[in-house]
Amino acid sequence: MANQKYEVVGAVRINNTWKPYTTVVEAPSEGLAVERMFCTIGSKHRLKRNYISVKAVNVVAGE
């Protein structure tokens, strides 16, 4: 199964404020794209999953 690029849009709670983010992740499905985004942001900023919200997952067209 070939990987596709997904754009994940949401918000992250840092210092009691929600800050928006947009991330492009390569994954075989939307669900795994969200999981990889949780892992990446969670490990980079040391956040739990309840401090990360996902609003939209879109397929990146082209390339």
Digit-coded pLDDT (tens) for 8-21: 999 999 999 999 99
Q: Which domains does the chain have, with CATH numbers?
A: 4-59 (3.10.20.10)
SS3 readout for the chain: CCCEEEEEEEEEEECCEEEEEEEEEEECCHHHHHHHHHHHHHHHHCCCHHHEEEEEEEECCCC
Digit-coded pLDDT (tens) for 20-59: 999 999 999 999 999 999 999 999 999 999 999 999 999 9
pTM: 0.85
